[in-house]
Structure 1
Amino acid sequence: MKLTIVAATGGIGRQLLGQAVAAGHEVTAVVRNPAGLSAPVRVVAADLATAEPTALAAAVAGADAVLSGLGARSSAEAGVAWRGTRAVAEAMRTAGVQRLVVVSAAPIGTVPSPNRPHPPKHDPGDGPFMRYLGAPLTRTFLRAHYADLARMEELLRDGDLDWTVLRPPRLTDKPLTGTYRTSIDRNVHGGITVSRADVAHGMLAALERPDTVRHTVGIAN
């Protein structure tokens, strides 16, 4: 497949890039700083915090799918997920590319967004710990990050692309296992952590799963 990977030097983006290349896909990597990339792939430099769709047109043209590991690394970067995804989505529409897979976070189903001010109080996949302690705590400490991701998800729901959103819980740097669990439109029951490598694997696997199109996917080890 011809794949465009956005934020290819981030934690999940690096995993996506390595796994995609190893699987024999033809990859275009979109990165802010090409110097941080050593993989033998086509590279397009773009700052997704300020990128215009026209700057991304060449990166997505001809792609079978786009995968994005975009997300804020600090509170100061909050907003990059929805703004960058908006630019990517507009570039995809211009180029006639439909398939998009992005990463979000497990608590986002309960986070308000502008057109969804009263989301459910609990995710149907969460057990008592996540419902009453884990999710509320992370929503409090990562408020700006989660508001950004909620707005990104809203942008996709309101659009016309064939999107899939993966919602992992706490991310780790453990190696790829391939034995993670997934749930459609709900978090994985009892899922507390998942490795970035397994999230990347799940994102690539979603490309072969029509049942994930226009759905969220909980993922956890």
Structure 2
Amino acid sequence: MKLTIFGATGRIGQHVLAQATAAGHDVTAVARNPAKLGPGVRVITADLNAPDPVVLESAVGGADAVLSGLGPRKQAEHGIVSAGTRAIAAAMQATGTRRLVVVSGVGVSTVPTPSRPHPPRREPGTGFVMQYLTIPLVRRMLGQHFVDVALMEEFLRSCDLDWTVLRVPRVVDAPATGRFRTAHGHPLRAAFRIGRADAAQLMLRLAEQPETAGTVVTAAY
């Protein structure tokens, strides 16, 4: 496959890049600082805080799938997930590229957004620990970023692309196992953690599953 990867220097994105390259995919990585990616990688330099539509269109044009692991590196970058996804989507629509897989977070459905000002306070079906301890703790810890990810999901629901949202819980540094649970279109009970490498593996798998377009997939051990 011809893949374009955004957030390729991030916690999950770096694993997506390594696995995609190892699998022999034709990969383009989009990064603000290409020096972080090392040699042997096709890189397009772009800053999604100040996106250049021409540059982004050159990055996604002709791709079979675009994968995004966008996330802020510092406080000043809050907002990059929703704004960056909008810029990526605009470039995809301009070039006729359809398939998009993005990373989101468990519990995002409880965050108010303009189109859902009164979401459920708890995610039904997630169990007592998830509903009353884990998700509230994550919301307090991530704050603005959690809202930003919710806004990204809201945008995608109205976006004319073949998107899939991958919601992950706490990501940990662990080797790929290929052994994780998934839920398609509904919450996953006891979704406490997943390894970065396994999340990356699932992103690549979803990129080749067009039947998951327009759905939310949750993954955890």
* TM-score interval, smaller chain: over 0.9
* Contact 2:46–2:52 (8 Å) recurs in 1: no
**Equivalent residue of 2:163, what SS?**
strand
Partner letter of residue 16 of structure 1?
V
TM-score of the pair, normalised by structure 2: 0.96
Counterpart Cα distance in 2 of 1:84 and 1:50: 9
Which residue in the other structure is 1:38 paired with? 38
Deviation at 1:54, TM superposition (A): 2.4
Deviation >3 Å, runs of 4+: none
Partner letter of residue 107 of structure 1?
G
- Unaligned ranges ≥5, structure 2: none
Which residue in the other structure is 2:193 paired with? 193
Measured on the aligned residues, the alpha-carbon RMSD in Å equals 1.2
Which residue in the other structure is 1:204 paired with? 204
Specify whether residues 124 and 39 from structure 1 end up closer, same or farther in structure 2 by C-alpha distance, changes over 3 A only.
farther
Partner letter of residue 116 of structure 1?
R
* Contact 1:50–1:84 (8 Å) recurs in 2: no
Which residue in the other structure is 2:108 paired with? 108
Counterpart Cα distance in 1 of 2:73 and 2:119: 25
Q: Any idea what the Cα deviations from partners look like across 1:153-199, whole Å, max 9, x if unmatched? A: 11111110000010000010111111111101223211210011111
Q: Any idea what the Cα deviations from partners look like across 1:79-136, whole Å, max 9, x if unmatched? A: 0001111000000000100000000100111111122211122223411001011111
Deviating more after overlay: 150-159 vs 124-133: 124-133
- Unaligned ranges ≥5, structure 1: none
Which residue in the other structure is 1:57 paired with? 57
Counterparts of residues 155-170 of structure 1 (less than 5 Å): 155-170=155-170
Which residue in the other structure is 1:71 paired with? 71
* Contact 2:130–2:191 (8 Å) recurs in 1: no
* Contact 1:187–1:219 (8 Å) recurs in 2: no
Counterpart Cα distance in 2 of 1:209 and 1:123: 26
Counterpart Cα distance in 1 of 2:87 and 2:24: 27
Counterpart Cα distance in 2 of 1:108 and 1:196: 19
Deviation at 1:39, TM superposition (A): 5.0
Partner letter of residue 27 of structure 2?
V
1:4 paired with 2:34, answer: no
* Contact 1:82–1:148 (8 Å) recurs in 2: yes
Which residue in the other structure is 2:216 paired with? 216
Deviating more after overlay: 17-26 vs 31-40: 31-40
Deviation at 1:4, TM superposition (A): 0.2
Partner letter of residue 121 of structure 1?
R
Partner letter of residue 174 of structure 1?
A
* Contact 1:123–1:186 (8 Å) recurs in 2: no
Partner letter of residue 97 of structure 1?
T
* Contact 2:27–2:42 (8 Å) recurs in 1: yes
TM-score of the pair, normalised by structure 1: 0.96
Which residue in the other structure is 1:82 paired with? 82
Counterpart Cα distance in 2 of 1:158 and 1:98: 14
Specify whether residues 39 and 189 from structure 1 end up closer, same or farther in structure 2 by C-alpha distance, changes over 3 A only.
farther
* Contact 1:167–1:187 (8 Å) recurs in 2: no
Counterpart Cα distance in 1 of 2:193 and 2:206: 19
